[in-house]
Amino acid sequence: MNDGLPYYDAVVKDLFQKDHPSLLDQLTGGVKIKAFLNVDLAKVLERRADLVLLLADQTILHIEFQSTNDKDMAYRAGIYCVLLGHRHRCRVRQVVLYIGQAKMRMAAGVDLGETKIAYGLLDIRTLEAEALMASGRPGDLVLAMLANGGPDRVAEIIRRANELSASERQRVLTQMLLLCGLRRLTGRLTMELKSMGATIDIAKNEILRDWMRDGQAGLIRTLLETKYGELPTWADERLAHAKLSDLPRWAKKFVTATTLEGVLGKK
C-alpha cells in the first residue's frame, strides 16, 4: 500500500477480501485460497503487506494495491518477498495492481547484480469493463468502473447494482463512491445516483461506519502521540477496538486531561 493515497488502496483491499472479484481468481491462477494472511512484517521496518494469501498448493500470493506510482516499489516488493518467504518458508509470487489515474510508470522489478527482484505488474485499465461486468459478481461492478471503458459505463454499472440484493447494492454503491475520485467521476456518479433514485443509508452502512470510526480514531491517535509520545500496547488496543460512540467522548477529554488514562480510561 502506497503512502500517498492509502484510502483508495484500503477500499480495494477490502473489496478483494470480502467480495472475491473474478480478478482475484485470475491472480491466483485458479488455485483455491486456503487462508488470508494479513500480518505485520517486521515492525522495525513499519511494513504491512496489502493482501497475503496462502494458496492450496502451499505457495504465497502477495498482492499490493497502488493508486500512485511508487519509485521504490521494486525495493518494497523485495523486502516483502524476503520477509514473507522467511516467515512461511515457501515460494512467494507477487503482483502489484495499479488502480491510479496517472499513467503507470513503475518498473516490474530491479536488477541489483547477484540479486534480482521481479513481480507481476498489472494496470487495471488493461482489463475491459465489459468483461468484468459480465462475471455477475458484485465486486467486479466496482472494479469495472476503474477498468478500460468503465467511466463511460457508470450509468449501466449503477443499473446493474440496483438489481442486486439490498446489502450487496449498498456495498457496491458505497465502494463506487469511495473510489470514483480515482477516475474523476464524483460529479457524474452523484448525478446518476440521484437520477436513478439510488440511495446509501449511512446509518446502516457498515463500510461507511468503519471508515468514519477509523478516520476519527486515527486523528485521536495522532493527538495522543503528539501530547504523550509513543502509545503503550493497552492504548493501541483500546483505539483499535473503539466504538464510534467512544471517539467524541475521548476527543472532549483530550482537551483537559493531563494523562493518557484521563482520556482513554484506566488500563
Asked if residue 163 belongs to a domain, the reply is yes
Confidence tier at 244 by pLDDT (50, 70, 90): confident
Under a CB-based contact definition with an 8 Å cutoff, are residues 47 and 41 in contact?
yes
Confidence tier at 86 by pLDDT (50, 70, 90): very high
Among residues 126, 160, 185, the one where a domain terminates is: 126
Tell whether the model's pLDDT for residue 43 goes beyond 80.
no
Q: Are residues 192 and 212 in the same domain?
A: no
What pairing do the DSSP bridges indicate for beta strands 92-98 and 60-66?
parallel
Asked if residue 75 belongs to a domain, the reply is yes
**Residues 6 or more apart whose Cβ sits within 8 Å of residue 230:** none
For 132-152, the DSSP string reads HHTT--HHHHHHHHHSBT-GG
Q: What is the mean pLDDT of the chain?
A: 89
Among residues 171, 200, 229, the one where a domain terminates is: 200
Give 156-204 pLDDT, tens digit per residue.
999 999 999 988 998 999 899 889 999 999 899 989 988 988 777 756 6
- Of 149, 112, 142, the residue nearest 127 (C-alpha): 149
Q: Are residues 15 and 115 in the same domain?
A: yes
What pairing do the DSSP bridges indicate for beta strands 109-111 and 116-118?
antiparallel
Phi-psi category of 195—alpha, beta or left, where left has phi over 0 and alpha has psi -120 to 50? Answer: alpha
Tell whether the model's pLDDT for residue 213 goes beyond 90.
no
Tell whether the model's pLDDT for residue 48 goes beyond 60.
yes
Q: Are residues 196 and 213 in the same domain?
A: no
Which class for 203: exposed (0-12), middle (13-18), buried (19 or more C-beta within 10 A)?
exposed
Distance, in Å, from the CA atom of 154 to the CA atom of 194, rounded to the nearest integer, reads 13
Number of domains in the chain: 3
Confidence tier at 41 by pLDDT (50, 70, 90): low
Confidence tier at 3 by pLDDT (50, 70, 90): very low
**Residues 6 or more apart whose Cβ sits within 8 Å of residue 51:** 13, 16, 17, 36, 38, 62, 63, 64, 65
Alpha helices in 151-205 (DSSP H): 154-161, 166-179, 186-196
Q: Are residues 188 and 219 in the same domain?
A: no
Among residues 126, 149, 174, the one where a domain terminates is: 126
Percent of the chain scored above 70 by pLDDT? Answer: 90
Tell whether the model's pLDDT for residue 4 goes beyond 90.
no
Tell whether the model's pLDDT for residue 42 goes beyond 70.
no
User: Which domain does 107 fall in, by range?
Assistant: 6-126
Asked if residue 1 belongs to a domain, the reply is no
